[in-house]
Amino acid sequence: MKLIVIFLLISLSLFGQTSEKKSELFNERGEIITQQNFNQMAKSGQYTWVIYETKDSLNARLILREQYGEINKNQKAELIAYLKEITSKKINESQTIIINFAFKQSTPNQAHCLDYYSSVKSYRNYFKNKEQFCQLYISEQGFKYPKDFVFEDKNDVIRKMLFPYGSNCNYIIIKPDGRFYRQMSEHHQDKIPSKAKANW
């Protein structure tokens, strides 16, 4: 892990010099931190990170791998309305919603994690005909996945609301009251059904 972090930071520094952009490191709350703090936090195993570019800088931001939180009633209503719009599925307020969210592939010529996760029929079928759950596969805006049950986040609503920073395959479980559990950059299908049923 240490070598990966060091390589990441060297890459950021080199890229910043060649593009004449500064490099910034951020914690999960969007606060600028030192390289030493970034290294320590990344080594803890509690975080993953993403690299992204703005007009003025090339940045690395830490992201919590696991997080519990809550969305409010208005956000939940907006989310359900939007999910109905892009999927044409029946979704109601009393369901636990599981969103499997995939970002565009960052490494060309490699299989996307969604290729595996969307092809495990036993996992997909687990939530079928269970009225208390609604499971969906959503891809990032601009990422059109060929399977007809994977829907594109056409207006970038889901990413902005639930996955503002991320990569690879992620998921979120949202309870009827708005409480959520989110897993970033990992997709433990064997744990999702029990996590969705649990009262946390």
Tens digit of pLDDT for each residue in 25-71?
999 999 999 999 999 999 999 999 888 888 888 899 999 999 999 99
Q: Region 89-100: what's the mean pLDDT? A: 96
Domains and CATH numbers, the chain: 2-64 (no CATH), 66-197 (3.40.30)
pLDDT band at 145 (very low <50, low <70, confident <90, very high): very high
Closest CA to 48 of 195, 196, 167: 167
Q: Tell me: the pLDDT tens digits for 111-126?
A: 888 988 888 888 888 9
> Is it the case that residue 11 has pLDDT exceeding 80?
no
Separation between Cα atoms, residue 185 and residue 131, nearest integer Å: 28
pLDDT band at 16 (very low <50, low <70, confident <90, very high): very low
User: What's the token pair of residue 180?
Assistant: 């959520």
Do residues 49 and 35 touch, judged by C-beta distance below 8 A?
no
DSSP 26-60: E-TTS-B--HHHHHHHHHTSSEEEEEEE-SSEEEE
Separation between Cα atoms, residue 37 and residue 60, nearest integer Å: 12
Give 155's contacts (C-beta < 8 A, 6+ positions apart).
82, 141
> Is it the case that residue 158 has pLDDT exceeding 80?
yes
* Mean of the per-residue pLDDT values of the chain: 89
